[in-house]
Structure 1
Amino acid sequence: MTEPSVTLFSDGLLSKWGFNDGDTPEQWLDWCETQGIDHTVLDFPWAALVRQHLVPVIEQDVAVVDIETIHNPIRAETVNGTDVTEAWAGRAPAPALTPEHVEVPMTEVLRVALAAAGLTEPPRFTPPLPLT
């Protein structure tokens, strides 16, 4: 059985709504629940995952920028030296990026999330107190 993973699509770098529009992926929430991990203590590390696992394998020369927003938090600023910021909201055509996607195993997502939070162990759910 293969380990569950998160898929990072390369074209997410070219859209305001990429990388699940910045929202935490359901498969991460489900995986954390099955592992007893309290995901509410960890921010989902979109930018770190993209920088560490997607950008290094993209065949084009891509410069990324972090965006302070409720939407996609990391986007391509240039591809092969050409400004692509107009593509973010569909105002210009987006170039094709290859490979189309990468898979990041959940254990690696957890490692990156823990590092970003400055933790060495995953936070665990605290059992509820019994009703009296």
Structure 2
Amino acid sequence: MAAKRDDGFRRAGRPLPTGDSFFTPGAGPLRRRVEQVSAVPLVWLHQAPRWILPVAMAAVFITGLLLPGPLGGALLVALAAFIGWLAFLAWPNLRSGERLMRVVVVAGLAAMGVIQAVA
């Protein structure tokens, strides 16, 4: 009998997405490596309560805007990197308009972070 893990999350019975593979078929070496490294954090995020990710992202965004100088800028750039990571992983399944929107959001957050850091 397997030991019960206590990682602080209640299991809501959210199954993993359907499919034969967790990874993109025919992916190049960079995508394959990023997907392999990302597998555990993605499963952790999937099993976390649904409200945690948007609340945490909103908190980082607001804190990044409110903190002056490099610390606020670093938070905004870190948020841009996180959203960029998620966009990279979702890229093969996105249409061109969805891709454009993600690029605009990541670039906008990164620009806001740089402006916040130097202002």
TM tier, smaller: under 0.3
- Whichever structure has more strand as a proportion of its residues is 1
Q: TM-score, normalised by structure 1?
A: 0.24
Q: TM-score, normalised by structure 2?
A: 0.26
- Whichever structure has more helix as a proportion of its residues is 2
